[in-house]
Amino acid sequence: MFTGYTRGSLKNLTGWLCGLAIAQILGINTSAKAADTVVVRFGPFAESISVADLQTAAETGKFPRDLQFFTNSLSEQERRLVLGALRTRVPLNVVTVSRLLNTQIGTTILNDLATALVRKDRAGAQALRAGFVLGSVSPQGLSILSFIKNYPSNRLEINLPRAFAVASNLNSGFWLTQQFMLAIAPQFSPTTSQLSFPFDPSQRGSDQFQVLGLQLNDQKRNRKIPVDVYWSNAATTDKPVIVFSHGFGSVRTDMRYLAEHLASHGYIVAALEHPGSNETSVNLALKNNTKIVQPQEFLDRPKDISFVLDELEKLNQTAKNPLQGKIATNNAMVIGYSFGGGTALAIAGAEMQLENLKQRCKQNVATFSFGETLQCVAQELPNNRYQLGDNRIKRAIALSPTAALIFGQTGLSKLQVPTLVWAASADKTVPALPEQIVGFNQIPSPKWLVGILGGTHLSVKDPSTTMDQQTKPNTPLFGGEVVGEQAADIRKYLQAIALSFAAQLTPEAEKYAVFLTPDYAQFASTQAFPIRLVTEIPPQAMFVVKQFTGK
């Protein structure tokens, strides 16, 4: 027995098993044997958990008496977490699971997870792959239980200390961000704003806008690019055209409320859809069992923006076109979200530097967030350096950008324009510390870093695109999203600073400058979501950054 580890054992073991179920996102080895027992080892001690008992718990919502040794010390919340994990299903078929696990990233993750297994042979990764693939064939689909039942051995043995190490490092960037936020909290204590604000930039403007749908075709790259252009008769070339780049597996209406807000203030907004990484593309890849995203997409996304600017300029010069003479394509601003945030940084001049990425993505990938794992796809690109900046871009807003790996050690220092970076403290998908905070010091001034304490990855998205989040499980890698009405104050602040940031490219720059200050961030804060804005990370905070990251 190892009573001192009872509470932590089940909690961390559950997190590890959740991680196993999730790891499949990243293609078969069969056996007549199947696990009916999970054995947890700690040094010379071992405890056995019957798979039948786990099945009973999942079906009834109650833990059998045989599991009381593990469950008595759990809180009610932890019990619900365990039961939720046991009931979670992964909606992927066997062919898709097999293909994804046979990718370079999938194999690396399996090898990392296999270090927590106790086996006499060295076939841990193959056994894990078999459990995932065969589990996905079961009538109920792939789940923790179907994985265990199809694990090719009569028992699944776990090395508890090693499992602790794997579990504690699941999405390590997110947990490091939480520790970092706690450590720097005293340095960013609330203050009373000393400024008065002449108006509310989060309020809808008076211009009546409409949406023009375009279906653009880049024949040179064989890319068909849908674009929604939000515009009004009040639009003039005194204001920049704003291009929006969406996140991975998403759509051009990702930030529709923000596009409408900007258009109501006389701006033209072009929200494009990247055909190699939008919702349609990802769904089609899953259906056809092909790669979810191609490495070339990291290069094509910035090129999509340049192509859209080219096409908008043609419309700007086309007689009798409603947009004629209204589009300032040489004075453009880009707003990108998540994968699109990385795209925004690239089109604004940041250099893709892949040397370190190609080394880093060969090991410990199981500890990565989804954003870091996505960036690892770029390791298959042939060159190590790519510069895709477009000098028509004069300002950039990167909302929760994927930036930890793709820009290397100095790529962000190549940015050519004023840049605002948005970071949400509770973002599991693209954790703030490694993805936004660490690299911020590289960015040349003028620059702004906005921190939303308590905000999550999807908080900025249009509520129409996040209605499914209430049914999502809360795991170490995803879930727990603050969206919809809960995140209304976050979106309100984004409307204010996006408008004010764009206004810096207009004759109204001075009028809006006051909203790009720490005072306004403090003013816009709520008890649920304190907001902080800095133009440089204070030395004391950078000391904490280096402590946590070793950089």
Please say if the pLDDT value at position 446 is more than 50: yes
What are the tokens at 430? 């693209």
E-strand stretches of 292-438: 332-337, 351-353, 385-387, 393-399, 419-424
Q: Which of 230, 181, 535, 247 is nearest to 400 (CA)?
A: 247
Q: Which residues contact 352 (CB under 8 A, 6 or more apart)?
A: 298, 346, 378, 385, 386, 387, 388, 406, 407, 408, 411
pLDDT surpasses 50 at 2: no
**Residue 125 confidence (pLDDT):** 80
Q: Which of 42-56, 252-266, 279-293, 314-328 has the lowest mean pLDDT?
A: 42-56
Q: What tokens appear for 172 in the block?
A: 């390590």
3-state secondary structure 211-248: EEEEEEEECCCCEEEEEEEEEECCCCCCCCEEEEECCC
User: How is residue 284 written in tokens?
Assistant: 């089609």
Q: How confident is the model at residue 221 (pLDDT cuts 50, 70, 90)?
A: very high
Parallel, antiparallel, or unpaired: how do β-strands 419-424 and 447-452 relate?
A: parallel
220's CB contacts (< 8 A; 6+ apart) are: none
pLDDT of residue 157: 81
pLDDT score, position 87:
74
Contacts of 511 (CB under 8 A, 6+ apart): 198, 503
Tracing tokens 């078999």 back to the chain, one arrives at 130
Higher pLDDT, 114 or 317: 317
| Structure confidence at residue 315 (pLDDT) | 97
pLDDT at 319: 94
Mean pLDDT of 198-221: 97
Kindly tell me the burial class for residue 508, based on how many C-beta atoms sit within 10 Å of its own C-beta (0-12, 13-18, 19 or more).
middle
Q: Which of 348-352, 428-432, 516-520 has the highest mean pLDDT?
A: 348-352
Q: What is the pLDDT of residue 9?
A: 34
Residue 350, burial from CB neighbour count under 10 angstroms (0-12, 13-18, 19+)? buried
Beta strands in 380-492 (DSSP E): 385-387, 393-399, 419-424, 447-452
Report how far residue 232's alpha carbon sits from residue 207's, in angstroms, rounded to the nearest whole number: 7
- Which whole number is the average pLDDT over 517-546? 87
Distance CA(326)–CA(241), nearest Å, equals 9
CA 452 to chain centre: 15
Question: If pLDDT is split at 50, 70 and 90, which confidence band does 182 have?
Answer: low
Q: Is the pLDDT of residue 223 over 50?
A: yes
In three-state form (DSSP H/G/I as H, E/B as E, the rest C), the secondary structure along 380-407 is HCCCCEEECCCCCEEEEEEECCCCCCCC
How does the average pLDDT of the chain come out, rounded?
83
Question: Is the dihedral angle over the CA atoms 289, 294, 300, 302 positive or is it negative?
Answer: positive
> Is residue 463 scored above 90 in pLDDT?
yes
Start-to-end CA span in the chain (Å): 41
Lowest mean pLDDT across 380-394, 432-446, 489-503: 432-446
Rounded Cα distance, 151 and 111, in Å: 16
Q: Which residue type is seen at 228?
A: D
Percent share of the chain, pLDDT over 90: 52
